[in-house]
Amino acid sequence: MVSKTEEMAQTTAQPLASANERETEKIRYTVGVMAYNEEANIKRSLLALLAQKSERTWLEEIIVVASGCTDRTVDVVREMMEADARIRLLVQRRREGKASAINLFLQHARNAVVVMTGADIIPERDALERLCAHFSDATVGMVGAHPVPVNDQHTFIGHAVHLLWNLHDRMAQRDPKLGEVVGFRNVIAAIPVDTAVDEISIQSLIARRGLRLVYETRAIVYNKGPMTVRDFLKQRRRIYAGHLLVRREQDYAASTMSVLSILQALLANADTTLGTPREAIWTCGAIALEGLARLQGHIDVLRKRPHHIWQTVSSTKQLEDEQRKLRRICNTQSVIVFQINRQAGDGNEMEKRGTLRLLRKLLPVLRRYVRKDDHLSINGHNTLVALLNADQDGAQLIALRLKRVIENQPVTTARNQHLRLKVSFHAVSFGE
């Protein structure tokens, strides 16, 4: 019989897993950043990637493919390489298209899981962790993040951009259509070099291998959509032409190609697309623009006009205000995401509509507490996004101020019950 002392000695004699062993158990992944003239954004993007949470996963390397850059993108990346050995740089002397840059990245990526992101994307600190954690399931082949635009929702183009991404979110939850930031198993040698929609080309190749596609709605990444009608049409035209070619050449259709599915998502999202007369008019205008862009894309395919070397959509290239009026005051930008819920209730559709109506009424009040060039927008039924020119401390102070304003708002139900709103928030800040 073993005494208690001997049992304790045997237990303490067993070596604990070292930090290196625990790290080995994590899902290791490589991030690829395809960059063309991203001097204004590349440093912030790399800092955001290096700051990613690493509990179940581990970011082993970042490969930046600088394709035909004529600005200081390459110099900025080399400076960052000196600060962190995980960053690698591949340079294409001339611009050959994003698909060509992706194929170069795939040749050099060392890990079994790879992630692709853009230099003009800001991920939440846990976005890639949530994305890559799915690969512990051997049946999963590709995972997509949830893009949230930072455009001002109170302009026509801002409304159109939010409308598109809200519809994308709703449709992707039913039938995954993955884009902006994606993770996938490194089982693809190359994608067609003439594709203009790389994520869908990858998605078709992964699906062909019998692997599952997953849309992770909690992996939040922030992007900026077009800010002008011209840029909106240019971007949507290219995307639709690319989808037509993938359907023809790879026999794979994205879920957004179905007009019926789009209409169903539009009606299901009626609270945010048709809730007010102005929203209804703007939604009709956005549908007309999308229809025109699809017609142009269809004509491009018939005329064999290539789109694989993208025309730069300049208004999406800086997440800050285009005029950069506040750069002299603060060169740090922060994104704050507020989740607003009622302290009581079961979260039914009527309550969601009530919360959305309250947020709409609150927006003019909340705008008094931020600067003129800052942006506030509503995403979904209970999410408020603030894009601010402020450092981390300033963003926290503003967030707490807005939280107090929201929570102090009286809420009365249809049964004359008085409720309070519960607000939680998280903020990310990036500066040079």
- pLDDT, tens only, 280-291: 999 999 999 999
Q: In what order do the strands lie in the sheet with 57-67?
A: 87-92, 57-67, 27-35, 113-118, 182-185, 140-149, 212-223, 122-123
Strand partners, 383: 339, 379
Averaged over 30-49, what is the pLDDT? 89
In whole angstroms, give the CA distance from residue 164 to residue 283. Answer: 10
Q: What are the boundaries of each domain within the chain?
A: 332-431
Strand partners, 222: 122, 148
Lowest mean pLDDT segment, chosen from 63-67, 385-389, 398-402: 385-389
Nearest C-alpha neighbor of 418 from the set 428, 408, 426, 427: 408
431: pLDDT confidence band, cut at 50, 70 and 90?
low
Averaged over 282-305, what is the pLDDT? 91
Model's pTM, two decimal places? 0.74
In whole angstroms, give the CA distance from residue 31 to residue 34. Answer: 10
Taking CA atoms, 317 is separated from 6, 37, 273, 328, 366, in Å, by: 66, 9, 26, 19, 27
- pLDDT, tens only, 214-250: 999 999 998 888 889 999 999 999 999 888 988 888 8
Q: Does residue 322 have a pLDDT over 60?
A: no
Averaged over 418-428, what is the pLDDT? 80
**Considering only the top CATH level, what class is 332-431?**
alpha beta
Structure tokens, 354: 């009530």
H helices present in 175-228, as ranges: 198-208
Beta strands in 9-104 (DSSP E): 27-35, 57-67, 87-92
In whole angstroms, give the CA distance from residue 421 to residue 370. Answer: 21
C-alpha torsion sign, points 65, 83, 126, 122:
negative
* Count of beta carbons in the 10 Å neighbourhood of residue 400: 12
In whole angstroms, give the CA distance from residue 98 to residue 310. Answer: 8
Lowest mean pLDDT segment, chosen from 163-172, 176-185, 305-314: 305-314
In whole angstroms, give the CA distance from residue 86 to residue 79. Answer: 13
Mean pLDDT of the chain: 82
